[in-house]
Structure formats: C-alpha cells, structure tokens
Structure 1
C-alpha cells in the first residue's frame, strides 16, 4: 500500500490547534490500517465557552473591516488550497479511508465555494436602497450585519469540505466561527485553519473544539449566534430543539434515502456509468448518494446485468494513489451497521447480486460494494438510511408508479432522473419531493451549482447552503427608514375623517398607477 506524505510530527502539530486539555486525549486512527496517528485533545464545555469568547473578541474587529479587506483573505486561501492539494488529500484519506480520487474531489469544493462568494459577496453585503412607505418623501435602506459567532458542527464523511463550505461565507459576512469536527476527522479541518491563518485571517477568529457530540455539541449550541449542523436526523432534531429554545436560528442538512429513476428511453450505459459513482463514491457515505434505483421494466434486465457486472469489477482497497475505485467505511461500528442491514435483508428474502460481505483481508473496515434485488418494505434497508456501499434495484411499470415509489420516504434530499427526452425527464424530476434533482446525472450536479440553493425536504433538514441565501443566512438585516418631511398622520387640526378620506384616495391612486 502506498503511504501518505504528511510527517507524523505534523499530524501532532495539527491537533495542537484544538482548544482542549492536552492531558485528556482520544486517538485518531488511520482508517485503512487502524494505526493511531495522533492524540486529539478533548474540549470540555468550559473550553468551548473560552473558544467562543476568543472568537467573539476577534469578530468585533473583523466585522468592522471593509468587505474587500475580508475577501482578500479568501483570494489567498483559494491559492493555498490548490497549492496544498496533496497534503489535504492525504489528510482526508488518513482520517476517512476514502479513495484518493474522492478525497481530491472533496477538497475541490472549497475553491469552488470561495470563488463563487468572492464574486457574490460584495453585492450581497452592500447596503440596498428600497422605496419608502411614502413615495418621494421617504426611503428605506437595508443593511446586512453579521450575526456574531457561528457554531459549525461538521460530520465525519466530508470533514474538510463541509467544515469550511459554511464557515467561509460566514466569515466573509463578518462572523467568527467555532468549528466542531467529528472526533474521528479533525486533521483536515485543523489544516484548513492553518491555511486560513497563513492567508491572513486574524488569530482567534476561528476556533476548533473537539469531543463527543453529547458533551461538546450542546456547549457549541449554547454559545452560538447561529448554528450550522450537518449530520443525522436524530441529532438534527436535538440541535434544532436546543437552538430554538434560545431563539437562535439553525440550518440543518440531515439524512437521505435518495432515489434514481431510469425511464424507458434512458441511455442505459450512461446511466450505469453515472450510477457507479452516484452509489459508491465515498463508499456510499454521502448524504446525496443513491440508495434506491427504480428502472423501467423494459430496460430493467439490461440495466441490472450491466450495473451488477460493473459493480463486481470495482477495485476496492487502501492506498494513497488513484488506483482504487472505492475505499473503506469510516469505522468498525459503521461497517457493522451496514453489514447488519444487508444480512437482515438477505435473511428476509432479498437477493445479493454482488458483494454482501466484509473484506477483512483489505483492512478492518472494508465492505464489498453491494447490489440487492427483491428488497421489500419489512426490511431495514428498504426505508432506513444505510450510509454505506449498498443499493437496491426495483423495476417499475409506469412513471406514476416510479414517482410514488421515489417519494415514499420520510427523507427528501436528492434524486436522479434519466431519460433521453429531456422535457419529459425534467417533468418527472419536478414531481419529486427533493431539494436536489439531477437529470442525467446521479448526485453531484445540483450541489455543484453554487449559484442555486442546496437543501432538503421533510426529514432531510431545513435551510440551505449555496446560492445567495448560503451567505445571507449568516447575516441579520436592519431596515433604516428615513422620512424627509412629516406626512404621516393627520395634519394639525385636521379631522380624522378627512385624513381617512385622503388616505383611502392615496392608496387607491398608488395601486392604479402601480407606484405601490
């Protein structure tokens, strides 16, 4: 197996960026082998409170800087991320076990986010003049202000991209950040902080805290002026409840049980090719990835046979090169959860077309890419999020049936539709209850379009990232209304009945001439 280029002493230095007790640590392991590579300080609630205090002290000066001065930091960050792509890719692989090609694609999200908001932030953050309540004699100016310090709770599956895709627009808007990565994946977020400081971000403005979710998570929510959470539905509900009790807004991206619909006129080889990545990229540990594929009965045998053969041929294994198609599952516990779903489905009558077993000969958390057929509603894999390299195939007879099946889930994050008739495929996509719908692509297309918002329906979350709202959510607006001369209310000595008549006439004229 090839090895990473990051020296061991540098891994230890990265964990030193965490606000926590150096005598209270947990091991960070290389996922491929289980070898401990660093000791991670754990943050107490008091450490989290101190982190918020430091971020808040730095944020007041940061918010006063002109927007162009703040954005200059991210111009430099964009360059630094690209220059350090090998180190970032190594770190992501060490802590997640994903294939190198997926680790590289993860880091690419950050230059894309930076570039998008470098263009949009100046317009979004400048004061906006609006018509006032009374034409000609009044005006209104909308001023955007940072919320203060944003708490970002990031997941283990995309620790670098998701840790910073929200932190970056929040910082551009003038906020400070307290970032809590998962205990298993602190290395790439810590390196991201190092790059931010090298780019010129003020010391203290971004703080890293680490620890078990039930200990550190509530402390982050208690200190934050806005909470950005990405993770499970169950934890998301707790985050929303605690933030709501403080009247603090939160944005949540949660789970998915994402469907793919292959229509009768679809290009089957193209759909198969895309589905390989749509299902097995990141070892299936991706909120947007496909877990259910519905294929029109006329092309079902061709799709099933070609897809199964392609999946069986995937190259699975460890390595810090681009040879492997799929890497490891994040941990033994997650691997066991995936295996349990497959075993329960198989015992209840589902057919394993390929895969369906752990691969201990490759490493402690490898699981074979798995395709199931004959999955029914009483099986866990039917409705519960698997979050692993497993997909179920289902034939359908009519478009209405496919839409009904695809929408039959409490989730609504992402969906995919395949067909050569693009208007017809888009019409099917419009009927799906999902925040992202990709036509003739499986997972990445809608999310990668940074101009449009990215969010989920139903239990897949609330709020959005990307698009204008992906930055504006980290601000609050003040409406400064100005009246040039007093025209509101009756004139001195004027009977109110006369004022009423004048007001009704004015409102009628404003509507007639479309002034207001």
Structure 2
C-alpha cells in the first residue's frame, strides 16, 4: 500500500470534557446492577482507551433459568393491565430519555467508541419507537372482528395474546436501540423479557431498564443476564416462549435451529453486505455526502450501513472526487462531546477484521483511494474511513461483511447491471438508490432484494419510518421490527367464534343429505352475493 501523506484530522476535545471515571461512578454501577442476578463477576471496558469501566454480575445457566422463573411469575400480572396503561409506560419512558439523554449518550460512547452524533441516532430511534408503540399499540392489539362461517349466525373475533416470556439477545453495536428499542413492543404486548446484552455494552441496556422501571414497568418483568455468549446465550434461547436475536448470520442459524427444535418462533436480524447505487442523473454533491453517512456512521459497525457502492461510469470520476474529499476531511475523535465525524471500532477483533480485509485487497491489486490505516494516535482501536476501488473476487472484502469503515466502489454502465450486481449476494438487509428522478428511483428500488430501500438517503429514512416494517431477506434474517409486524410478532393470534340460533349441524328437521344440499346451495349464494 502506498503511504499517503494525508491523514484524517483529529477533532479537538473540548476543555473540561468528561472522562470515563466522571460518568461510570460506583454509585451508578450499584444502582444499575441492584437486584441483578449473577454469582460471578465480569468486566466491561471502553474501546476509546481500553480502560475498565465496571465489574458486573455474571450469570450461570442455572441463574438464567431463575431469571426466567421470576419473569414468568411476573408476566401474567403485567399482561392483565389494560393495554393503554402499558402503553402509557412507554410514553413516560420517551420523555425521561429525552430529559436525561446526556447520560445515555455518554454511556453509549464509552461502551462502543462511536461519535456522539451517531450515539444520538440511538436516542432518536428509541424515542420514535416508544412514541409509536405508545400511541398505536392499543389499535394494533385491539380485537378484530371477522366474517363468521355463517353470516349473522356466527360472530367471530380475533384476539392477540402475549407470547409469555421473550428470550432476547442484543448486540454490542447499538446497545441502547437494539436492547430497549426491541424490548418495547414486547412489553406493550404484555410479555416479560429475559435479555442477554453483550457484556461489554451492558451498561446502556441496564440504564434503559432502570429508566423504564422509573416510568412504571414492574422490575421483575425485565430480567437482564450477563455472561459469555456460548454459555449464557443457549440458556436464553432455550427458555423463551419466543426468541429475538440480533447478530451474525452464523449465530442466527444456530438460534433458529434451537428455537425450531422446541417449535418456538423467532425473529432474527443478521448480517448485510448492503449496496448503494448512484444513477447518472443523481445530485453528486448530495450523493457524496449521503455516502459518507451511509458508509461510515458508527465506524461502519451498523448492520444496514453500505459496504458496496455502484456508480455509473459516466459520473464515477466526478462522484469519487467529491466522495474522497469528504471522506478525507472526516474528523476522528474520542471525546464525550459533539464534534467528531467518526469514532472508534469496538474491539481488537473488529480491528483485525478490518485490517485483514483492506490489506488483502491491497495486496491483490485493489486501489486504496483514501484511508487504509489504523490510527493508534487517536485511540487503540481507531481506523481511518477507507474507500477501495478495483475490488473483485476472490478478495474477502468483495463478498464478506466487513462491519467497519470500509466501502468498495464499482463502476457500471447500465442500471440493469447495477441491480444485478447489488442483488448478487446471499444477504438482503438494506440498500440505497440516488437519482433526481423519483420514478426511476422507485422502479429500481422495487427490483432490489432487500428488506428496506432508501432513496436519496443511506439508511436512516427507512429505519426511522417506524410505522413501516424493517428487516432482512435471505441470509439477513427472519421477521421484522417496527410497525404492526414488529409488535404482533410478540403475540399469538387467537380466534374466538360464537355460534348463535342454529348449530353447525343438521337442524330444523333436516337429515344429513338435506343439510349437505342446503349448505352447498348456501355457498353458491354467498359467492354470488360476493361475500368474502
């Protein structure tokens, strides 16, 4: 790799900026872990400096079973409350989060290393979900009247019953949004939750639990267990009446197998190799700015971030000039304040993966347009935002998810070619289309095999539209979050039908043959009258 003299600038820390010790105090840790089960001890650390943040309780599989028992005992009382009462808890939580958001912004930054603006995305996403389900859950869960077997004589309604206790495994990359944000619809549907957040980012989930209890959620309804994934994870999956998992595709397959063996449902948001398509009529300045957000938010450690960028050959040079310049100008920073454009990777493992993907591509002939280096001068796990061109199979970065601040740029000559290349992956989570023509962009979007498509935005427009479902196709998972589907998956539909006046059997003096003939004639009449 040719060593470029350019280095991404470092955002200056404001005077008097808070430190980890200022935020994660012994009193805070004691408050967040009060009543938390776990006979062992485990530590969490900040990727910004590597220092330890706190010692936390660690559970055994037997203690996970105890957490399920406590949740199961508390769940019926919670489910018995009117849905509007449960929804009111979410609305109070919404207000508390906004009032005290500086606390959770500090925790998210310390636990993940991300820039404060990207931590703010988590606050916005959680509050939007809390508001949506706080307002819409009563209608989503209301009994639905359906046509009965025999008009007038059969009255049929569909009820929604909670699953019971949901086993939930939350990832490290969005520790606030992908913990409580996923749990909110489960709670408002009347369920209890036993959650295993990642140990290194558990403080954010515990802070959310503490605030939700302050908003009115019974403490026993949300159980948090901590420990190593291979030890505690199977116990969480095996104990739930429904399982919600966000993480890697490899682990998601195992979660699905374990749930299926018990005939238990599950929802899985897994990996992605998301594509962005820049059409020849796109506003290149807007597209370049959007690509920076789409590729490098949270240092690329976002399931729906863009890792493949397809640009029409006629505008590729002009687009890359803008995109590379904006990327080189991004400020790296490690302070608990606004001002940095990108933060740190979360772990040594992520840094090794990013470095391996970039170094291998460079060695096999790809061109590093900018970035391509670790930045230990900023922090132990920082890596520059990186743009590659000339990437092709068998380079690992071409097909495997990097989950870091790396994007590969490909030139195409025909939109059909771009669509085919974007779809040439087993993943199908998110995609992005840029064009001045709404009609053209919508036509392209409808041909992309991803659960969400954003037009003239990278990921936030679709993800932030919380009334609409969000999730993946193919190897990117099963089920959806957000909207009615994100709530109703935590329920079991129950049909209750009441028969009146006449039975569903021969009556009024009819014998079997007469009854059969009568019912056959009735079906013909109902069809002629256009009954559904």
| Shared fold per TM-score greater than 0.5 | yes
Give CA-to-partner distance per residue, 1:231-267, whole Å, 9 cap, x none: 0000000000000101110000001000000001011
The answer to whether structure 1 residue 206 and structure 2 residue 238 are counterparts is: no
Give how far 1:424 is off: 0.7
User: What secondary structure does 2:149 align onto?
Assistant: coil
Output the TM-score relative to the length of structure 1: 0.98
Match of 2:29 in 1: 12
User: What secondary structure does 1:204 align onto?
Assistant: helix
User: What secondary structure does 2:355 align onto?
Assistant: helix
Moved runs in structure 1, 4+ residues, more than 6 A?
A: none
Give CA-to-partner distance per residue, 1:75-95, whole Å, 9 cap, x none: 211111011100000000111
Give CA-to-partner distance per residue, 1:418-462, whole Å, 9 cap, x none: 111110111011100000001111111111101111111100000
The answer to whether structure 1 residue 451 and structure 2 residue 467 are counterparts is: yes
How do 1:2-151 and structure 2 match up within 5 A? Answer: 2-4=17-19, 5-14=22-31, 16-17=33-34, 19-22=36-39, 24-151=40-167
Match of 2:196 in 1: 180
Cα distance in 2 between the residues matched to 1:18 and 1:414: 39
Match of 1:342 in 2: 358
User: What secondary structure does 1:433 align onto?
Assistant: coil
The answer to whether structure 1 residue 222 and structure 2 residue 238 are counterparts is: yes
Cα distance in 2 between the residues matched to 1:336 and 1:8: 31
Give how far 1:492 is off: 6.7
Give how far 1:72 is off: 2.0
CA contact (8 A) 2:87 2:135 kept: no
What's the Cα RMSD here? Answer: 1.3
The answer to whether structure 1 residue 316 and structure 2 residue 339 are counterparts is: no
The answer to whether structure 1 residue 252 and structure 2 residue 264 are counterparts is: no
Cα distance in 1 between the residues matched to 2:75 and 2:96: 23
291-300 vs 130-139, greater mean Cα deviation: 130-139
Query: Which ranges of structure 2 fall in alignment gaps of 5 or more residues?
Result: 1-12
Match of 2:5 in 1: none
Give how far 1:16 is off: 1.9
Match of 1:388 in 2: 404
Cα distance in 2 between the residues matched to 1:339 and 1:376: 17
Give how far 1:375 is off: 0.0
Change (3 A) 1:500 1:7: closer
User: What secondary structure does 2:220 align onto?
Assistant: coil
Give how far 1:20 is off: 3.9
User: What secondary structure does 2:217 align onto?
Assistant: coil
Cα distance in 1 between the residues matched to 2:388 and 2:156: 59
The answer to whether structure 1 residue 243 and structure 2 residue 259 are counterparts is: yes
Give how far 1:494 is off: 3.2
User: What secondary structure does 2:200 align onto?
Assistant: coil
Give CA-to-partner distance per residue, 1:312-343, whole Å, 9 cap, x none: 11101211111110000001111111100101
Cα distance in 2 between the residues matched to 1:333 and 1:82: 33
How do 1:105-504 and structure 2 match up within 5 A? Answer: 105-491=121-507, 494-504=510-520
User: What secondary structure does 2:179 align onto?
Assistant: helix
User: What secondary structure does 1:228 align onto?
Assistant: strand
User: What secondary structure does 1:184 align onto?
Assistant: helix
Cα distance in 1 between the residues matched to 2:392 and 2:32: 46
Output the TM-score relative to the length of structure 2: 0.95
Give how far 1:307 is off: 0.5
Cα distance in 2 between the residues matched to 1:18 and 1:324: 37
Query: Which ranges of structure 1 fall in alignment gaps of 5 or more residues?
Result: none
Give how far 1:17 is off: 4.2
Cα distance in 2 between the residues matched to 1:492 and 1:481: 22
Cα distance in 2 between the residues matched to 1:10 and 1:144: 41
Cα distance in 2 between the residues matched to 1:295 and 1:315: 25
